[in-house]
Structure 1
Amino acid sequence: MSVIYQDLHQFSTYIPPINLTFHQYLLLTNEPILFHTGNVQQATEMVPKLKSILGDNNLNYIFVSHFEADECGGLSYLLEHFPQAIPICPEVTARQLTGFGLVQEFISKKPGEKLTTESYDLEFFSYPSEMHLWEGLLVLEKRRGIFFSSDLMIRFGEANNAILESNWETEIDDISKEQVPDQERRIKLQQTLKQLNPNFVATGHGPCLKV
């Protein structure tokens, strides 16, 4: 657990057999929001840390970019401890979460929509994630310039509290067919993201990026 950028806390788990680090993030404001839950084991380890950081504050939202174990596998466990938290997710993911009985209440977002509060300004973008090309969401927190990239910008290795200097356009150009197999949708995604100008990329795996 560490403060990785401004008021953004990072929780990390390194898995040696696959040489990959998994991250979740807490934007600690007056309306705290968690980005991804990790799997059940990761969520179990994270909850005491979240409670310590939050103190008497509630967790307002939990953002889920797409339906996969490290994005939402620990959601039910987290909601047991933070029952007031409302998941924010794509429409497809909302149907999956309710179909598995994981949530009762959620906020469903489409690409191009926003969520503005006193503490942050989130804008959502289409993410044709590699899991069966299910429609996911990427999100930019516009006041701080933090882009939450989910699995899109991935590097292997141990990366707890690690930050790399990089170039935004290079990162976008390096999005591979393994990440977005449909070429047309990959090109459209790259064109959309190149219009953005973030300061910091909070990755799902590997070092975060200063861009």
Structure 2
Amino acid sequence: MAITNVSAGTNVEEIADGVYRINTPVSLIPGGFSFNQYLVVDEQPPLFHTGPRRMFPLVREAVEHVMPAERLRFLALSHFEADECGSLNEWLAAAPQAVPLCSRVAAMVSVNDVADRPAMALADGAELSLGRRSVKWLDAPHLPHGWETGFLMDTMSRTLFCGDLFTQGGTGAAALTTQDILDNSEAFRQPMDYFSHSTNTRQLIEHLAVEAPTTLACMHGSAWRGDGAALLRALGERLVGQPARTA
């Protein structure tokens, strides 16, 4: 692991072939929290999650540790939220050839209005070549939240960039773990349930599970390696039948 900003604790580590996790620990809540971005090094490199706007200098510094930031070609987001795309326009300025990458719904309702350049909007199942590898877009509306939500699957390294799924408390000190993250993520979810609990949760989970990921690139906490299909289905079992929390 390379510390790229000693003051903030921002760090970067390769978690799969050509896939780098950028992690910044924060003290927003008791026990700590973390924001992760994922850089995929290829001919047309994407950054999955931009991080919040005020975190831009830290994330750019970490990207520059791996490759020149201006080489970025895609700025991908799962759904429209500050930690997903808060610094989108700062990145578009830093990487002149880059474009936002998102679902068709995200482009229609938010991104094409907010972003300084039009998005590349992907349909469910669409594949995009990055060079020696490709990524596949998977629509997952309302999983865990947001009509426009979707995820990217790196078909070469079998990495699923799974956004807010399996959000863990703590600072994510381990870049990659094989230990259980389901119990941690469920314990974090219970007090402030951020899942929409849509009626087709089981089908949405299965839509991801059939891709058989071996690495789950979580936006908050450690990335995870193992039988991703089994872990996703285990999450589905926890979610199905649970009503949304009320105030």
- Superposition TM-score, scaled by structure 1 size: 0.86
User: Which residue number corresponds to residue 86 of structure 2?
Assistant: 73
1:99 maps onto 2:110 in alignment:
no
Q: How does 1:53-202 map to 2 (within 5 A)?
A: 53-55=66-68, 58-95=71-108, 96-100=110-114, 102-129=115-142, 133-165=146-178, 178-202=193-217
1:6 maps onto 2:17 in alignment:
yes
| Larger RCO (alpha carbons 8 Å, 6+ apart) | 1
Q: How many angstroms does 1:196 deviate by?
A: 2.2
CA distance in 2, matches of 1:121, 1:92: 22
CA distance in 1, matches of 2:151, 2:196: 17
Q: How many angstroms does 1:4 deviate by?
A: 2.4
In the comparison of the two structures, how many residue pairs are matched?
Answer: 206
Q: 1:132 to 1:142 in 2, by over 3 A?
A: closer
Q: What is the Cα-based RMSD across aligned positions, in Å?
A: 2.5
CA distance in 1, matches of 2:141, 2:43: 32
CA distance in 1, matches of 2:50, 2:95: 12
User: Which residue number corresponds to residue 21 of structure 1?
Assistant: 34
- Superposition TM-score, scaled by structure 2 size: 0.75
Greater share of strand: 1
Q: How many angstroms does 1:55 deviate by?
A: 3.6
Pick which of 194-203 and 143-152 moved more: 194-203
User: Which residue number corresponds to residue 46 of structure 1?
Assistant: 59
Pick which of 36-45 and 65-74 moved more: 36-45
- What secondary structure does 1:93 align onto? helix
What letter matches 2:202 in structure 1?
Answer: I
**Partners of 1:31 and 1:119 within 8 A in 2:** no
CA distance in 2, matches of 1:114, 1:53: 25
Deviations 1:77-121 (A, max 9, x none): 111111211111112221302223x23222001222211242222
Residue ranges of structure 1 left out of the alignment (5+ in a row): none
- What secondary structure does 1:204 align onto? coil
**Partners of 2:167 and 2:221 within 8 A in 1:** yes
Deviations 1:167-186 (A, max 9, x none): 89x79xx7x89454233231
Residue ranges of structure 2 left out of the alignment (5+ in a row): 1-11, 227-247
